[in-house]
Amino acid sequence: MPGDKRSPRITGLCPFGPREILVADEQNRALKCFSLNGDYKGTVPVPEGCSPCSVAALQSAVAFSAGARLYLISPNGEVQWRRALSLSQASHAVAALPSGDRVAVSVAGHVEVYNMEGSLATRFIPGGKASRGLRALVFLTTSPQGHFVGSDWQQNSVVICDGLGQVVGEYKGPGLHGCQPGSVSVDKKGYIFLTLREVNKVVILDPKGSLLGDFLTAYHGLEKPRVTTMVDGRYLVVSLSNGTIHVFRVRSPDS
Q: Which domains does the chain have, with CATH numbers?
A: 10-249 (2.120.10.30)
- Averaged pLDDT for residues 61-79: 95
**Contact by Cβ (8 Å): 117, 142:** no
User: CA of 236: how far to CAs of 43, 69, 74, 181, 183, in Å?
Assistant: 22, 28, 26, 17, 12
pLDDT score recorded for residue 254: 65
Q: Judging by DSSP bridges, how do beta strands 55-58 and 20-25 pair with one another?
A: unpaired
What's CA 96's distance to the chain center, in Å?
Answer: 9
Over pLDDT 70: what percentage of the chain?
97
pLDDT score recorded for residue 255: 57
> Has residue 221 got a pLDDT over 60?
yes
Order of strands, sheet of 30-35, starting from the edge strand that comes earlier in the sequence? 10-15, 20-25, 30-35, 40-44
Burial, 57: exposed, middle or buried (Cβ in 10 Å; 0-12, 13-18, 19+)?
buried
- Averaged pLDDT for residues 216-242: 94
Whole-number average pLDDT of the chain: 93
Lowest mean pLDDT among 1-10, 47-56, 84-93, 172-181: 1-10
Please tell me the pTM assigned to this model: 0.95
> Has residue 200 got a pLDDT over 70?
yes
> Has residue 2 got a pLDDT over 70?
no
pLDDT tens sequence across 114-166: 999 999 999 999 998 888 888 999 999 999 999 999 999 999 999 999 999 99
Grade residue 86 by pLDDT with cuts at 50, 70 and 90.
confident
Grade residue 253 by pLDDT with cuts at 50, 70 and 90.
low
- Averaged pLDDT for residues 183-187: 97
Residues in CB range of 44: below 8 A, 6 or more apart: 22, 31, 33, 62, 73, 75, 76, 77
> Has residue 57 got a pLDDT over 60?
yes
| Opening angle at CA 161, ends 205 and 227, nearest 5 | 55
